[in-house]
Chains A and B, each alone.
Chain A
Amino acid sequence: MTAETASALLLSIRVAVLATLLNALVGVPLAYILARRRFRGRGLVDLVTTLPLVLPPTVTGYYLIVLLGRRGWLGAPIYHATGWSIAFTWYAAVVAATIMALPLLVRTAKAAFESVDRDLERASYTLGRSEWRTALDVTLPLARNGILAGLVLAFARALGEFGATLMLAGNIPGKTTTVPLAIYTAVQTGEDAVALLFVGVLTALSCLVIVAANRLGARAT
């Protein structure tokens, strides 16, 4: 294994783990609010969080560039203030992976929350637990398996991110080349052995993911 190969693997794992953690932090509370609260604009929030799942990855990538690129709505002020842009750094790979994987987590976690018997929450209220504590002590543990299944799926999606990553982070070996991008490069340059290695790793991981998600999904009910 060459240094570049190892770098791609390590980068992919780093990006996928960070993206999943970010998604957990943002996505789980978001899923709870979508599952349990009614508010104006709820449909819009639901739509926007589902969009990265349905939009072509390069379209999402385009929006990310418009937002975070050197001349982007957020990217430009940051660049003018600090001289730094997120584009073509490994942070961009994390952002792309997070956005693309978020819908998977939110939809799965939302379904998990919705499947929790509301009478159990009401019982907790009548016994004196606040909505906040009930969400933590009653709803979350009961939705745990579904949420874990969502996290596993989100991890897999983050690991396999290609289109949006290429747009915002680029394909810089040793810096932003994740495994899916490395496979693309390897196939383009005829490095079959390298491609095969990466393909094997990702396939094995994906199989594990499917088995894990199914097991967790089954235990959820």
Chain B
Amino acid sequence: MSAERLRVERLAFGYPGRVVGRDVSFAMVAGEVLCLLGPNGSGKTTLFRTLLRLLEPHDGAVLVDGASIADWPRRRLARVFGYVPQAQTGTFPFTAREMVLMGRTAHVGLFASPSAGDLRHAEAALDALGIAHLADRPYPEMSGGERQLALVARALAQEPSILVMDEPTASLDFGNQVRVLAHVLALARRGIAVVLSTHDPDQAFLCADRVALLHDGRLAHLGATADVVTPATLRETYGVDVDVVTLTREGRTVRVCVPSLQRRLA
């Protein structure tokens, strides 16, 4: 049985004066991939910000290894939570190595500089994501996919036990989407608990052990992927008719969503 890494208890979250979601409870174990699924505006980003304590919860608790994170200093939080935001065009021309090295912030002394050991961690993270060749490339000059991988490497350099990824495949081309999802699975195999948000149910099928379906700020469904992502729940959440098709090929079973679109006959 894997160790429990994260427990969220009856969390109510939102912005000062405005509650976006409430009564959210779930737990995660090491090595698990939990997909937070929901339409745009359902509160996924707000929930993540609350997990990372960028926002204060309105109610409820977030617990790591049994302890509430409410009073944790930032340093301690950063040693547990690695955050991967959506890659955007950067303002500052940091190289990939420098960016990933920044992931070591929580491990470097308050007034110290990164050590040789920190540099090794950074290089290892770049290697793990297959972007060692980009080490000296400035961030703004990278492609969208390369930037996203650099951000994942940065989070990895924090040596987190929990990885929080906010729509990590948004605005990536098909190939890069697949690459990022492959990395998500690889990171989970290392024992990291990964929670990623997406609005695409197919991604949940591709990489998630469990799915939390967020609808209007409430956890409408939580459970194994195949149990949560069904035509009924998808119609309830997205308002569209979708077929869930099971494909078996060379011993592998994969589920896929097929929207019921009517093609006009010529």
Q: Are A and B associated in one complex?
A: yes
Seen from chain A, the residues whose Cβ lies within 8 Å of a Cβ on chain B are 38, 117, 122-123, 125-131, 133
20 further interface pairs, Cβ-Cβ under 8 Å (given A127-B103, A128-B77): A38-B16, A117-B91, A123-B85, A125-B52, A125-B54, A126-B52, A126-B78, A126-B81, A127-B78, A127-B102, A127-B106, A127-B158, A128-B78, A128-B79, A128-B105, A128-B158, A129-B75, A129-B105, A130-B73, A131-B74
CB distance from B202 to the nearest CB of A (A): 28
Task: Annotate B52-83 by CB proximity to A: 1 below 8 A, 0 otherwise.
Answer: 11100000000000000000011101110101
With a CB–CB cut-off of 8 A, which chain B residues contact A122? 54
Interface size on B, residues (CB 8 A): 21
A38 to B17, CA, bound (A): 12
A116 to B167, CA, bound (A): 25
B52 near A130 with CB under 8 A, answer: no
With a CB–CB cut-off of 8 A, which chain A residues contact B91? 117
CB distance from A126 to the nearest CB of B (A): 4
Q: Contact check: which of B16, B54, B110 meets A126 at CB < 8 Å?
A: B54
CB distance from B97 to the nearest CB of A (A): 15
Seen from chain B, the residues whose Cβ lies within 8 Å of a Cβ on chain A are 16, 52-54, 73-75, 77-79, 81, 83, 85, 91, 102-103, 105-106, 110, 154, 158
B110 near A133 with CB under 8 A, answer: yes
23 A-B contact pairs sorted by A residue (CB < 8 Å):
A117-B91, A122-B54, A123-B85, A125-B52, A126-B78, A126-B81, A126-B83, A127-B78, A127-B103, A127-B105, A127-B106, A127-B154, A127-B158, A128-B74, A128-B75, A128-B77, A128-B79, A128-B105, A128-B106, A129-B74, A129-B105, A130-B74, A131-B74
With a CB–CB cut-off of 8 A, which chain A residues contact B53? 125
A126 to B155, CA, bound (A): 9
Tell me the nearest residue of chain A to B106, going by C-beta: A128
A57 to B260, CA, bound (A): 75
Q: Which of A122, A126, A129, A130 has the most CB of B within 10 A?
A: A126
CB distance from B73 to the nearest CB of A (A): 6
A117 to B88, CA, bound (A): 14
A128 to B16, CA, bound (A): 23
CB distance from B140 to the nearest CB of A (A): 15
With a CB–CB cut-off of 8 A, which chain A residues contact B16? 38
A130 near B75 with CB under 8 A, answer: yes
With a CB–CB cut-off of 8 A, which chain A residues contact B103? 127
CB distance from B104 to the nearest CB of A (A): 9
A130 to B74, CA, bound (A): 5
Tell me the nearest residue of chain B to A118, going by C-beta: B54
With a CB–CB cut-off of 8 A, which chain B residues contact A38? 16
A163 to B75, CA, bound (A): 51
A176 to B168, CA, bound (A): 65
A123 to B77, CA, bound (A): 13
Tell me the nearest residue of chain B to A117, going by C-beta: B91
